[in-house]
């Protein structure tokens, strides 16, 4: 007999949550879409920033990076898709549908769009881009932009950076909780011998 020990991973500041609690948290994440949408507005209506862009590589790089970060808005959709698949797994386990269990576990582990690994990879990429944006922002503030533009950029960026970090942390907690639920379901299914 082979024993596999799968212990749930707990985030240091998060408690284990029920599937329904996690689903509710994921729904709340969609409310943050406006932050991603407004991210590019940091440079909107600031003609002098746009004019200075021709002379400042950091501004150009920042705008490109903001576009890349905006694409990460899809992470919430991927997490929602994963939670849907975990819901299917729960239903398959309850109904003793072994074929459904195997298919759903495979989907959760291997799907290029919404597997646990692909979402973790996307979250790591987002974190990296947010860190790079922070460095570029600091470089812009030390650069030769006018003082009024620096003040506007700092004010806009500070608020959005805080929200983006909050989104990232909530997404990370959602994937940790979904991973715990998934491993708990798989462990219970293995222990019961199904």
- Tens of pLDDT, residue by residue over 100-146, are 999 999 999 999 999 999 999 999 999 999 999 999 888 888 887 77
- Residue 163 has a CB neighbour count (10 Å cut-off) of 16
pTM of the shown model:
0.82
Asked which of 33-37, 80-84, 179-183 is least confident by mean pLDDT, the reply is 33-37
d(CA 106, CA 103): 5
Q: Residue 180 falls within a domain, yes or no? A: yes
Asked whether residue 52 is domain-assigned, the answer is: yes
Choice between 16 and 59, residue whose per-residue pLDDT is larger: 59
Number of structural domains, the chain?
A: 1
Range of the structural domain that residue 139 is part of: 19-191
Residue 145 maps to a domain: yes
For residue 9, the model assigns a pLDDT of 44
**pLDDT confidence of residue 137:** 86
Query: Does 8 reside within a domain?
Result: no
Look at residue 144 and tell me if it is in a domain. yes
**Average pLDDT value for the chain:** 84
Task: State how far the alpha carbon of 161 is from the alpha carbons of 140, 164, 173, 180, in Å.
Answer: 15, 5, 18, 28
Residues of the chain above pLDDT 70, percent: 83
Domain assignment of residue 14, yes or no: no
Torsion on CA atoms 166, 131, 178, 31, rounded to nearest 10: 40
Instruction: Count CB-CB contacts under 10 A for residue 185.
Output: 20
**84 domain residue, yes or no:** yes
């Amino acid at each position: 007999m082979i024993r596999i020990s799968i212990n749930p991973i707990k985030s240091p500041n998060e408690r284990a949550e029920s599937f329904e609690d996690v689903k509710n948290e994921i729904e709340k994440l969609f409310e943050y879409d406006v932050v991603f949408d407004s991210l590019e507005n940091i440079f909107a209506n600031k003609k002098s920033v746009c004019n200075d862009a021709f002379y400042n590589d950091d501004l150009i790089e920042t705008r490109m990076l903001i576009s890349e970060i905006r694409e990460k808005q899809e992470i919430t959709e991927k997490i929602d898709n994963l939670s849907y698949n975990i819901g299917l797994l729960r239903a398959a386990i309850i109904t003793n549908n072994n074929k459904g269990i195997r298919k759903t576990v495979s989907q959760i582990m291997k799907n290029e769009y919404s597997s646990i690994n692909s979402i973790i990879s996307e979250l790591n990429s987002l974190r990296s881009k947010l860190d790079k944006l922070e460095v570029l922002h600091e470089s812009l503030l030390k650069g030769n932009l006018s003082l009024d533009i620096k003040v506007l950029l700092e004010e806009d960026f500070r608020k959005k950076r805080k929200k983006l970090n909050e989104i990232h942390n909530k997404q990370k907690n959602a994937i940790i909780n979904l991973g715990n639920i998934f491993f708990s379901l798989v462990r219970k299914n293995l222990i019961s011998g199904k």
